[in-house]
A = this chain, B = another copy of it.
């Protein structure tokens, strides 16, 4: 394949680029299965799948700095003739381009979902790759809170469909406008001069975004003079007076026993702020909508302590958290945590058309949700290897393949060993590598007698580890069956293996 044959080139390294990896077998099929179930729910809700091109012009992505000859860090971009091209770094920027391009033909509102790889030109690290999957659903062109409420119920249905039981997750809803109202009441947002207090608000936003890590006391310190961390480093605070800070603290602690309590707590906090009251109205509408549809507090709750994304979104924000316990790196119990988040944003296509188009949407953390499903044992079925038919007589390949054909016709995954059959041990090693549940053996003696040997590799491995002699005898890991009963006996053995697990 090397074109320049004159010099003998050194052998190329068999490695992907730094920060990239390959996915094998069950890793691919499990993700595909999860995404398919998600797509089924989104489709049921009337969302249409969109697959945009992996490449965009840098101009359309909006990452191009006119005064430097290279686009921003963070994206893979290069010059191709007169254009700068880039690999998409998320699925929202392409949605903006597609909606702006096709807005006259697309339904309005436009409900779309998208799932696929995105690329980030960032320093790779352990578990951090430069290509990963995103899975987004957005409704473009509707300002109605019903659009946000629908995303929340859809997210709830989705989590249950992929295998997260009710009670193991909760969807929390908050609203940026309520926070803005709180800021206004606290005196760090002036609706008549929105640029004023920008620095203070920035510090407040970053502080409440750290609630999880710093706790209420830590956030309180950052709202005031500042905070010294364990290492002695000092972080400058927002400099709010005690009364101002209390308003912000009240926001994060406004969760009541019922949605009505929460709403009335919030309404009290934002009294006098038009934007704050509008935000509480929006929260109330979402709460009523999902309640009317039967989604109670076991699935969707209002929660003013949800602060992630409040800096980015313009109205409702929502987050799905898995509430079951796992162990952290140090063995301490903690909740699994967030697997999806989203909210409302209004400048989706403004760069292209000058018009503000309201939009709301959610993004599922594909790798995190997959990890959760693996922990919950929801993805095992895809992992089982094929039945391996061993080759005792090279001249009878057709007969062995016919066995595989029969098994497949019964829906049983099966394959014939295709390596050099001379060393039978290699064939069993191969079956082991393939994670095979069963091996079939038919040598000359068996053929003459019209039988096959069916070897239970899972039971065999168990027995080899732990069985007493009596158990070995009582539960033979290999049975003989008439050739005509091959499919039936394999099916029985697979069922017994499934029941034993």
Residue ranges of A at the interface with B (Cβ–Cβ < 8 Å)? 1-4, 7, 9, 11-18, 20-25, 27-29, 32, 36, 39, 43-46, 48-57, 59-60, 62-63, 65-67, 72, 76, 78-80, 83, 85, 87, 93, 97-98, 100-102, 107-109, 111, 117, 119, 121, 130-131, 139, 141-142, 144-147, 149-150, 153, 157, 288-289, 291-294, 349, 351-354, 385-386, 388, 397-399, 401-402, 404-405, 408, 411-416, 418-419, 430, 433-434
Contacts A22-B98, A45-B408, A50-B23: A142 and B419 contacting too (C-beta < 8 A)?
Answer: yes
Most buried by B among A17, A117, A121: A17
- A1 surroundings in chain B (CB, below 8 A): 62-63, 93, 351
With a CB–CB cut-off of 8 A, which chain B residues contact A291?
A: 398
Cross-chain contact B18 with A83 (CB below 8 angstroms): yes
- Residues of chain B within 8 A of A293, CB atoms compared: 398, 401-402, 405
A36 and chain B: residue at smallest CB distance: B36
Which chain B residue has the least Cβ–Cβ distance from A9? Answer: B66
- Asked if A46 and B414 make an inter-chain contact with CB atoms under 8 angstroms apart, the answer reads yes
A52 & B16 in contact (Cβ 8 Å cutoff): yes
Please state if B16 and A60 are interface contacts (CB–CB under 8 Å).
yes
Which residues of chain B are within 8 angstroms of A153 by Cβ–Cβ distance? 401, 405
23 residue pairs of the A-B complex, CB under 8 angstroms, read: A3-B63, A12-B60, A13-B57, A14-B352, A17-B80, A21-B53, A23-B50, A28-B49, A44-B412, A46-B413, A54-B54, A55-B130, A78-B78, A107-B434, A108-B430, A109-B419, A111-B415, A141-B419, A145-B397, A146-B401, A146-B418, A150-B416, A291-B398
Q: Of B9, B48, B63, which contacts A25 at CB under 8 A?
A: B48
Give the number of times this chain occurs in the complex, counting copies.
2
Contact partners of A386 in chain B: CB under 8 A:
45-46
Given A53-B131, A107-B434, the answer on whether A354 and B399 have CB atoms closer than 8 Å is no
Bound Cα distance A102, B66 (Å): 43
A33 nearest CB neighbor, chain B only:
B36
In the bound complex, CA of A142 to CA of B56 (Å): 41
Q: B43, A413: Cβ atoms under 8 Å?
A: yes
Binding site secondary structure of chain A: mixed
Closest to A67 in B: B4
Q: A57 touches which one: B17, B22, B289, B434 (CB < 8 A)?
A: B17
Shortest Cβ gap from A350 to chain B (Å): 9
Q: Is the CB of B398 within 8 A of A289?
A: yes
Give chain B residues whose Cβ lies under 8 Å from the Cβ of A23: 50-52
Instruction: Report yes or no: B405 in contact with A53, Cβ–Cβ below 8 A.
Output: no
Minimum CB–CB distance from A296 to chain B (whole Å) comes to: 13
In the complex, residue of chain B having the shortest beta-carbon distance to the beta carbon of A46: B415
**When the two chains form their complex, are residues B66 and A76 in contact, meaning their CB atoms are under 8 A apart?**
no
Indicate whether A44 sits within 8 Å of B413 (C-beta atoms), given known contacts A13-B57, A24-B50. yes
